[in-house]
Amino acid sequence: MQPELMYLIYIDESGDPGLNNSPTRYFVLSGLVIHETKWRDTLNKLINFRLGIRSTFGLLLKEEIHAGAMLTHPGTLVRIRKNDRLTIIRHLLDEIAAIADFRIVSVKIDKQGKAPPYDVFENAWRVLIQRIENTLNHNNFPGCQAADHGIIFCDETDAAKLRKLYRKMRVFNPIPNDQHHGSGYRQMPLTRIIEDPSVRDSEHSYFIQAADAVAWACYQRYAPSQYVRQKGARNYFNRLDPVLLKVATRRNQLAIVEL
């Protein structure tokens, strides 16, 4: 019998989840998935990456790579040239893409044309959680076995709202039928993703920082800042192609679920 093992799922967001008077048109969630047996080796790779970045650019290991803030509100990182800060982000994306055990799935919501009571936050999280659950159910993560489960770690967010949504999906989770099951809905409560999502401060997690960079790059595909356009960085998300979970959606070549 195969032992039960765990996938660790690190999720971060980019954009604002508000619907009315929001400063952003889009809201993005990106999940970075790694098997527990690969976690230590992957952490070592991220640490070695940070050591190289410290040597080249002077970014301390304790300083956070927060992609959006690094470019617009760098704080003490202003000592590093802006172009070098963008280079750090690009190098991190390339490091993620080179770690074959990672898998990435993203959800993008375009708020244009959506009206209350549409809930941007809830819809994005529900779809991302369901995509990960489906991938576990079909054993489509690298090395996945039927007994494996997943647990979510995310940056600081509306923890109470997320917890309420997740607990509801554990007991009541109607999924529209596909062409093989006819019209209507099927009840498919979550079984493979366990526990409540664990909220972490990204400052203390290289994995959350990596997920942040992924979400930022995904967002820039749809609404690049002036600086990103100027530097030709709009398509940085494409650099992640080797580790995108393309079985998650066939409608988008970059494995982004677009709502």
pLDDT tens-place values along the chain, 259 residues long: 556 789 999 999 999 999 989 999 999 999 999 999 999 999 999 999 999 999 999 999 999 999 999 999 999 999 999 999 999 999 999 999 999 999 999 999 999 999 999 999 999 999 999 999 999 999 999 999 988 999 999 998 899 999 999 999 999 998 887 655 567 788 899 999 999 999 999 999 999 999 999 999 999 999 999 999 999 999 999 999 999 999 856 667 899 999 9
- Residue 1 belongs to some domain of the structure: no
The per-residue pLDDT for 250 is 62
- Residue 231 belongs to some domain of the structure: yes
- Please write down the long-range contacts of 255-258, taking CB distance under 8 Å and 24 or more positions apart: 255/104, 255/105, 255/106, 256/106, 256/107, 256/108, 256/218, 256/221, 257/105, 257/106, 257/107, 257/108, 257/127, 257/128, 257/131, 258/108, 258/110
- Residue 20 belongs to some domain of the structure: yes
User: In the chain, how many domains are there?
Assistant: 1
- Residue 163 belongs to some domain of the structure: yes
Domain that holds residue 188: 6-258
The per-residue pLDDT for 25 is 97
Q: What is the 3-state secondary structure (H, E, C) of 66-110?
A: CHHHHHHCCHHHHHCCHHHHHHHHHHHHHHHHHCCCCEEEEEEEE
- Per the structure block, which two tokens stand in for 21? 């008077």
Q: Which amino acid is at 224?
A: P
The per-residue pLDDT for 180 is 59
- Residue 245 belongs to some domain of the structure: yes
Contact 236, 220 (CB under 8 A): yes
Which residue from 218, 237, 214, 249 is spatially nearest to 131, judged by alpha carbons? 249
- Residue 243 belongs to some domain of the structure: yes
The per-residue pLDDT for 19 is 94
- Residue 229 belongs to some domain of the structure: yes
Q: What is the 3-state secondary structure (H, E, C) of 188-239?
A: CCCCCECCCCEEECHHHCHHHHHHHHHHHHHHHHHCCCHHHHHCCCCCHHHH
The per-residue pLDDT for 176 is 81
- Residue 191 belongs to some domain of the structure: yes
What is the CA angle 15-16-20, rounded to 5? 140
